[in-house]
Amino acid sequence: MALIALILLPAFGGFVAFFVAGKGERERWVTIATFALMLVLLVAVVATGAEGRWYDKVSYPWVPSFGISLDFAMDGLSATMIALAAGLGIISVMASWSEIRTQSGLFHASLCWTVAATVGVFLSFDLLIFAFFWEAMLVPAFTLIAVWGHGDKEGAALKFLIFNAVAGFGLLAASFALAAMADHMTFSAFELAEMKLSTPVQVWMLLGFSLAFMVKLSVPPFHAWLPEAHTLAPTAGSILLAGLLLKTGAYGLFRFAPMLFPDGLAAVAPYGIALGAAGALYGGLVACGQNDAKRLVAYTSIAHMSIVLMGISAGVHYALAGAAVEMIAHSFSASALFLLIGALYERTHTRDLRQLGGLQQTAPKFAAAFALFCSALLALPGTANFVGEALVVVGIFQVNWVFALLALSTLVVSVIYATRLLKGLVFGLPQPKPPLADMTWREYWPILVMGIGTLIIGLYPQSLLALLEPAIKAALTQTP
């Protein structure tokens, strides 16, 4: 029941925020309270959870004649992702405090509903319920971009919706095909994992699933929707997109590919690694050429998600662990950078690296925050990103040294774009001329939390790895 409450709570909170909006900041506080309650509930579930891998596991019938049931289960990976969802939700409210002034009620409702749907994705083990939440998160996220974005926001939002919704058909078709092959109609991943399918069939099914996951991960060549969506979305939208929505793709791949299609995954693994390596290099190189700070960070997301893909495809312990850590590390670093760039944009009305600079003299807090997260971007030892990327590279060395060298070279590229970002913003002559206000507490606290998170995971990765270990082991041994 608690797992369903975790989904219903933000869904309901969204309605409350929608209806109390008006004078004052009620809808903002309602939204923050909703996410805070979610965190409390999550901690309660984890603390009182049963022994073994699953903290909690429930199953209720939804459409019995179709074999669809509400199969929810939570292990360390789901719990981490849900904590991330709620935390980023609070941060999004803080980041949008002064940016969003029109239709604030609907904005916060969309925020809540995006989080509710992603929590559904992280908990569902029934493939159709998974697909339901998978597509459900597109609608509020689409609204976030289309209504409160900048520039050609509707075009960007449409591109986001269409790429992802069309890719969702792959997931749906493969789910139906899987259910049709089962001896009785069921969509439960636990039951479908018991089936013994031939390798070619597994490859086809995996390709169907992967279509959805790759587009969400935005691995080239499926990335075309991402730069615009990230650049034109409001700050909170960018935070949720980079920190949460991209992760649903990684999560799906991590969770379902080894569980349902072990042989298929092994068969396509070399292609997955190659695609990941190409994507990481491509994303990194294109990021180096960007002048728009937000666009630069958007392209680094492509690179980092490609590294996650490499890790999952490699399928060895180090690489899987690295991929899982990188998912969380990237959420922190990318969300923090989007928040910082958004805050800077509110003050200067530009994101052009050539028109900015000298933050170390005008706004030291900004400069320190940028310095921290740029070092996370280039995976400096001591940051969570280092742990993730290093583990992936070590894992890939065990599989194929050529790809490992390619993966290493992406780390070199990351140094270029991270220093370029750092140089453009922090160093040099103070630009623009009138000195700008430093960060307010509302901007500062989220950064502090994410910075501490990045450093804790970077310096003491075991804290996170212990939580993720059961899920990693399950993916490694290919058991449900």
Partner 1 sequence: MTAAQFAALSPLVVLALAAVAAMMLVPLARLQIVQASAAAGLGLAAAIVLLRVGAPAAPMGALFTDDGPARFGIVFACLVSLGALVFLRTGHPAKEAPSLLVLVAIGAATLAGAGHAATLFLGIEILSLSLIALFAFRLTRQGLEAAYKFLVMSGLASSALLLGIALIFAETGALDFAGWGGRGALTAFGTALLLAGLAFKFSLVPFHMWTPDAFEAAPASAATLAGVVSKSAVAIVILRLALTAHLPEPVWSEGLAALGGASVLIGNLLALRQPQLPRMLGYSTIAHSGYIALIIASGTPHAGEAVLFYLAIYAPAMLGALCVSAALGRAPTLPDLHGLMKRRPLEAIALSLSLLSLAGLPAAGGFIAKLFLLRVLIDGSLWVLVGIVVAGSSLGFFYYAKFFTAPFVGHTHDESEPLPQLDRGLLIVCIALIVIFGVAPAGLMNVVAATMAP
Residues that bind partner 1 (CB under 8 A): 61-66, 103, 106, 128, 132-133, 135-136, 138-139, 142-143, 146-147, 154, 157-158, 161-162, 165-166, 169, 172-173, 176-177, 180
> Residues of 11-29 as b/e, b for ≥16 C-beta within 10 angstroms?
bebbebbbeebeeeebbbe
Q: How far apart are CA 27 and CA 50, in angstroms?
A: 36
Q: Least distance to partner 1 from the beta carbon of 229, Å?
A: 13
Q: What is the dihedral of CA 379, 87, 218, 425, to 10 degrees?
A: -50
Tell me the closest approach of the beta carbon of residue 62 to partner 1, in angstroms.
6
Preceding omega of 200 cis (within 30 degrees of 0): no
Cβ proximity to partner 1, 136 vs 374, nearer residue: 136
Q: Which CB sits closer to partner 1, 106 or 197?
A: 106
Q: How far is the CB of 222 from partner 1 (least distance, A)?
A: 15
φ and ψ at residue 380, rounded to 5 degrees: -70, 140
Q: Rounded to the nearest whole angstrom, what is the least distance from the CB of residue 146 to partner 1 in the complex? A: 4
Smallest gap from Cβ 261 to partner 1, in A, equals 18
Cα–Cα dist 222/76, whole Å: 29
Q: Which residue has the tokens 């004052």?
A: 24
189 vs 200: CA distance, rounded Å: 19
Residue labelled with tokens 């995976």: 379
The helix/strand/coil state of 87 is helix
Q: Which amino acid makes up residue 380?
A: L
C-beta closer to partner 1: residue 149 or 357: 149
Shorter beta-carbon distance to partner 1: residue 137 or 206 = 137
Q: How far is the CB of 103 from partner 1 (least distance, A)?
A: 7
Residue bearing tokens 């600079």: 357
> What residues pair up with 341 in beta bridges, in sequence order?
none
How far apart CA 414 and CA 418 sit, in angstroms, is 6
The HSE-up count of residue 164 (CA atoms within 13 Å, CB side) is 28
Q: Please tell me the distance from the alpha carbon of residue 126 to that of residue 133, in angstroms, as a whole number.
A: 11
Which lies closer to partner 1 via its Cβ, residue 163 or residue 373? Answer: 163
Nearer to partner 1, 221 or 435 (CB): 221
How near is the Cβ of 19 to partner 1 at its closest, in Å? 10
Please say which residue, 153 or 294, places its beta carbon nearer to partner 1. Answer: 153
Query: At its nearest, how many Å lie between partner 1 and the CB of residue 134?
Result: 8
Minimum distance, C-beta of residue 162 to partner 1, in the bound complex (Å): 5
Q: Three-class SS of residue 51? A: coil
User: What would the two tokens of residue 60 be?
Assistant: 């209720």
Q: Nearer Cβ to partner 1, position 222 or 386?
A: 222
Phi/psi of residue 188, each to 5°? -70, 125
Q: Return the amino acid letter for 72.
A: F
| Complex with partner 1: residue 61 or 151, whichever CB lies closer | 61
